[in-house]
Each structure stands twice: as structure tokens, then as C-alpha cells.
Amino acid sequence: SAHSDLIARLPKAELHLHIEGSFEPELMMAIAERNRVDIPFKTLEEAKAAYDFSNLQEFLDIYYQGMNVLRTEQDFHDMTWAYLERVKQDNVVHVEMFFDPQAHTERGVPFGVVAEGILAALKRGEAELGITSELIMSFLRHLSEGAGFVLLDESIPWHEHFIGVGLDSSEVGHPPLKFRGLFERCRELGFKLCLHAGEEGPPEYVREALLDIGADRIDHGNRAMEDPALIQVLRDTQTPLTNCPLSNLSLCVLDDLKKSPVKTQLEEGLLVCVNSDDPAYFGGYINQNYEAISEALDLSAGQIIQLARNSFAGSFLPEDAKARYI
Ligand code: ES4
Ligand code: ZN
């Protein structure tokens, strides 16, 4: 496209990435074989054919099934390392990634196996690829607040290794306020709060995340644009919004990227950035997301540069590190 070279050259931070959503079918099939675990497809073509979603829940069912092959520290390392090597090509220099420990502990994989595998790859990514990183522990919102407290408790030995906590999985019917006490506790522990809100859920969920929970970042936030008062709060507070164009398209949050809120958000002075969410499932890593949104909305070079700047401004990097990129 018209801005491919610019997009490729720009240093970027990725702030909305589920590491289990970067698990490519090739690697999944290899790990399934070494762990002797059955998977419902035998070829790449079969896998890709299954990745045809009409909503968030259809994706989540396949996402949780795919990660079932992950059993050892090595597995979590290999998945994370593959992501880092891939986005090095996209000029990602910093990543703040979600992981979903409950999706592993619920099937008997200890928290430490998950965390140590991911952390080993992140350390290697900084040493060998120069990619800095932070980890965000996400709570599954279809589970109870009590289950979230259990996770917070069992993760205590690793608390120094993550910067924040998240809230993901099935949104509708599971509003942020279901987890008020849990996030209050996480805030007291010094964690940043990143909540998925307004992906499929109503603007009211974004309002709760922002005003009742005190979210530091809103993941997706598309439907906030239905509420002018909420737009005003997002502008005044410069709360980062992590938009994911190809995710929105894959999950039918949008039927056409031309309807994406990204350009309006930029024009209204909101701190929006572009991310891949679950690149192995949604058809593209971060540069492909920049390409797709730039093309669909006819973004200017200045707007593309603004999106990359916003990715650093919205990150949890220390101010001096941010300043080098903004
Ligand atoms: C997710 Cl796209 C999306 N939405 C909500 N939860 C998720 N977990 C992984 N990807
Ligand atoms: Zn997400």
C-alpha cells in the first residue's frame, strides 16, 4: 500500500497482544506431536478453515482448545519466542503482553510452568533481539471474582514479574463491576489495570472500567464512541485505547474496516494505538494491522506516525524511555 515503507520502518510498541493468541498452527501441531496430545485438525488448511468466526465466543472456544497442547515450560517458551522473532521483523521494539493463566491452571498446568516459560523467552528477547517487554496477567471474566482472587494469591511469588492485570474473555454479561473488589486489591498491590471493554459490550462497560474501576488502559473501547460524554472523559484523561483492526474484522465487531473508529479517535484527540490482539487467529501481525487500517481509512503519513507515537505514550515504559520514541 501507499504507506508500506513508512509502516515497516516505524519503531512500534505492541500493547494489546494475548501471547496464547500468537500460537501459530504449525507450532501447535509440532507441540501436539511432542506432547502426544490430540488436536482437531491435521493440516494447516484445516486449521485456517476453522478460523472463521462470527463473534467473540466462537473465537474463544477455538482459542482455549488450541492452547490445550501447551504443557511444559519449554512449550510456553517456544510460543513466546516465536512471537518475538516474528515481530522483530515488524520493528516492534517494546511489547506489553497479556497471558491467561486460568486457561492453563484450570487444566492442571501449574502457574509457575506458564510464567517461567514465558519469562525465559522475554528475557532472551531483550538480550538477543533488543525487544523490551512487560507482562500483564489477565483474569478470565467468564469465571468468578473469587477465582480471580485465587489466581492473584497463587501468583504472589511472581508479582514482581508483571506490571499489571487485565480482564478478558467473554464480555457481554460479565461487566467490569463484577470484579470491583479484585481490581481494588490489584490497584493496592501497585498493578496497572487494563480492561477489555466495549469490544462487544455496551458503552456502559467502558464507563464502569474507566470511572468505577479506574482503568489505566481500555482494550478495544470501540463502543465508547456511542457516548459523547465518555469520549470527553477519554480525551480529558488521555486514557490509552488499544485498537485491534483485524481482530474487529475477524470477530465481526465491524463488517467493514471503513467503519473503524480509529480515524475519528485520532481526530478527536484520543490516545488510540493499533495492535494485533491474537495474530495467529486474525490474519496478521502488527504491521498488517497498520496496513489494513491505513488503507481502509486513507490515513495520512502524519496519522500513521501519530499511531506509533501513541503506542509509546500509552505504554508503561518509564518517561525517559518514552521520550526517546515520542
Ligand atoms: C480476546 Cl479478542 C479478545 N477479546 C476478549 N478476550 C480475549 N482473549 C483473547 N483474545
Ligand atoms: Zn484482546
Residue 14 lies in a domain: yes
Residue 157 lies in a domain: yes
Ion ligand 2: residues, CB within 5 A, are 277
Confidence of residue 1 (pLDDT cuts 50, 70, 90): confident
Please say if the pLDDT value at position 121 is more than 90: yes
Residue 322 lies in a domain: no
User: Phi and psi dihedrals of 243, rounded to 5?
Assistant: -85, 150
> How high does pLDDT run on average in the chain?
98
Q: How far apart are CA 294 and CA 99, in angstroms?
A: 28
Residue 325 lies in a domain: no
Segment 46-62, tens digit of pLDDT: 998 999 999 999 999 99
Segment 232-248, tens digit of pLDDT: 999 999 999 999 999 99
Q: What is the ipTM of this complex?
A: 0.98
The pTM score is 0.98
CATH number of the structural domain spanning residue 241: 3.20.20.140
User: On the CB side of 92, how many CA atoms lie within 13 Å of its CA?
Assistant: 32
Confidence of residue 175 (pLDDT cuts 50, 70, 90): very high
- Over residues 276-288, mean pLDDT: 98
Nearest-atom index, ligand 1, CA of 247: 2
86: which residues sit within 8 A by CB, 6+ positions away?
Answer: 22, 279, 285
Q: How far apart are CA 90 and CA 4, in angstroms?
A: 11
Instruction: Please give the angle made by the CA atoms of 161, 163 and 166, to the nearest 5 degrees.
Output: 115
Parent domain of 98: 4-316
Query: What is the number of domains present in the chain?
Result: 1
Q: Is 278 annotated as a binding residue?
A: yes
Nearest-atom index, ligand 1, CA of 244: 2
Residue 321 lies in a domain: no
The Å distance, Cα 4 to ligand 2 centre, comes to: 25
Residue 164 lies in a domain: yes
Residue 326 lies in a domain: no
CA nearest ligand 1 atom 8, residue: 169
| pLDDT at residue 41, rounded to an integer | 87
Q: Of the residues 20, 96, 171, 199, which is catalytic?
A: 199
Candidate from 17, 169, 195, 289 with most ligand 1 atoms within 8 A of CB, to mutate: 169
Looking at all shown ligands, the one closest to residue 97's CA atom is 2
Please say if the pLDDT value at position 303 is more than 90: yes
| pLDDT at residue 196, rounded to an integer | 99
Our answer to whether residue 199 is catalytic in this structure is: yes
Residue 324 lies in a domain: no
- Over residues 99-125, mean pLDDT: 99
The amino acid at 218: I
The amino acid at 248: N
Q: Is any atom of ligand 1 closer than 6 Å to the C-beta of 20?
A: no
Segment 128-169, tens digit of pLDDT: 999 999 999 999 999 999 999 999 999 999 999 999 999 999
The Å distance, Cα 120 to ligand 1 centre, comes to: 24
